[in-house]
């Protein structure tokens, strides 16, 4: 991973805003899909695809690539947009999200789209898949890393904890999980539906290295990933505190935006806000 100098950080912050704008446009065209989670994870996906991952969009099945698995597949608009901006497929194809015969399904499907590492849908399965890949890499003496992105709400699923126990037992230091700690799920706030705290202590008890970070501070997130790479005794979980709907004022922290797209008027307002924010990002780095 290259050093994160000031020019690169400026590029990443600007790119994250572009990705948020593309998410809004994509959801508007689809008239279906999730808004809050994708907007909240835009900074993290930008950091991965444009700085952290060892990958090659022109050779998506390169054997030595890092693997990024999206467990909470319903936020796939942010992954699709990031993949398109990174060069895995044409940005124009984003207009086909959730349409008949589209490669951009409502949940990612392995084999239908370059850059998608796993099929997801049933929540809670991503960590088990990632543990399997991490263990296989260890057995084959491979140096690539496995990154698993999960939601906080899917920690209600028991198989997440089975995988967490196994990863700790096997000391899978090539595995880093990122939890999108946005505190919402489809029916309300996580701590009302099924309290998760103390989340970090639970992972420590399962022999994981735990890092908490602001999921919208790209520099700090990259530092957390670098710290995870330096830990040799155990897997790492990064608890990324994010704001659902980040960047769009009327969506932020509102769980009702978990699973719905914007109307044309709402999309217009959202894009105006994001374009204004883009100007602020540019001016702050001048």
Taken in order of first residue, the domains within the chain and their CATH numbers are 6-284 (3.40.50.970)
Q: Tens of pLDDT along 1-10?
A: 778 999 999 9
Give the tens place of pLDDT for each residue, 65-91.
999 999 999 999 999 999 999 999 999
Residue 198 burial (C-beta neighbours within 10 Å; 0-12, 13-18, 19+): exposed
Indicate left, alpha or beta for 201 from its phi (over 0: left) and psi (-120 to 50: alpha): alpha
- Positive/negative CA dihedral, 30, 33, 36, 40: negative
Alpha helices (H) along 48-186: 76-86, 126-139, 158-170
Percent of the chain with pLDDT over 90: 94
pLDDT value of residue 245:
98
Between CA 154 and CA 187 the distance in angstroms is 12
Give residue-wise pLDDT tens across range 229-249: 999 999 999 999 999 999 999
CA distance 117 to 140: 18
Q: By C-alpha distance, which of 153, 198, 143, 181 is closest to 40?
A: 181
pTM for the full predicted model:
0.96
Structure confidence by residue, pLDDT tens digits, 150-166: 999 999 999 999 999 99
- Note the pLDDT of residue 286: 60
Nearest Cα residue to 238 out of 59, 41, 2: 41
Q: Which residue has the tokens 């499907």?
A: 109
**Res. 51: pLDDT tops 70:** yes
Q: Is omega for the bond preceding 198 within 30 degrees of 0, making it cis? A: yes
CA nearest to 173, candidates 89, 234, 254:
234
Q: Give the burial class of 197: count Cβ atoms within 10 A of its Cβ; 0-12 exposed, 13-18 middle, 19 or more buried.
A: exposed
pLDDT of 282 strictly over 80? no
């Amino acid at each position: 991973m290259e050093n994160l100098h000031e020019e690169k950080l400026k590029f990443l912050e600007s790119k994250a805003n572009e990705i948020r704008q593309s998410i809004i446009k994509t959801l508007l065209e689809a008239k279906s899909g999730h808004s809050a989670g994708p907007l909240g994870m835009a900074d993290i996906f930008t950091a991965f695809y444009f700085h952290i991952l060892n990958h090659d969009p022109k050779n998506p099945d390169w054997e030595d690539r890092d693997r990024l698995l999206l467990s909470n597949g319903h936020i796939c608009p942010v992954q699709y947009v990031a993949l398109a901006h990174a060069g895995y497929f044409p940005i124009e194809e984003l207009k086909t999200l959730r349409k008949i015969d589209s490669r951009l399904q409502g949940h990612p499907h392995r084999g239908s789209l370059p850059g998608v590492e796993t099929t997801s849908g049933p929540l809670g399965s991503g960590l088990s898949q990632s543990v399997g890949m991490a263990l296989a890499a260890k057995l084959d003496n491979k140096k690539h890393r496995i990154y698993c992105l999960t939601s906080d709400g899917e920690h209600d699923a028991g198989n997440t904890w089975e995988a967490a126990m196994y990863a700790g037992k096997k000391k899978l230091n090539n595995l880093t999980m990122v939890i999108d700690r946005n505190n919402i799920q489809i029916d309300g706030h996580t701590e009302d539906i099924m309290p998760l705290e103390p989340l970090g202590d639970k992972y420590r008890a399962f022999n994981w290295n735990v890092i908490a970070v602001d999921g919208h501070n790209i520099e700090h997130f990259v530092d957390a990933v670098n710290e995870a790479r330096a830990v040799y005794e155990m897997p790492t979980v990064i608890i990324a505190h994010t704001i659902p709907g980040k960047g769009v004022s009327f969506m932020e922290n509102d769980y009702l935006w978990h699973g719905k797209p914007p109307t044309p008027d709402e999309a217009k307002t959202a894009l105006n806000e994001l374009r204004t924010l883009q100007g602020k990002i540019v001016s702050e780095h001048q």
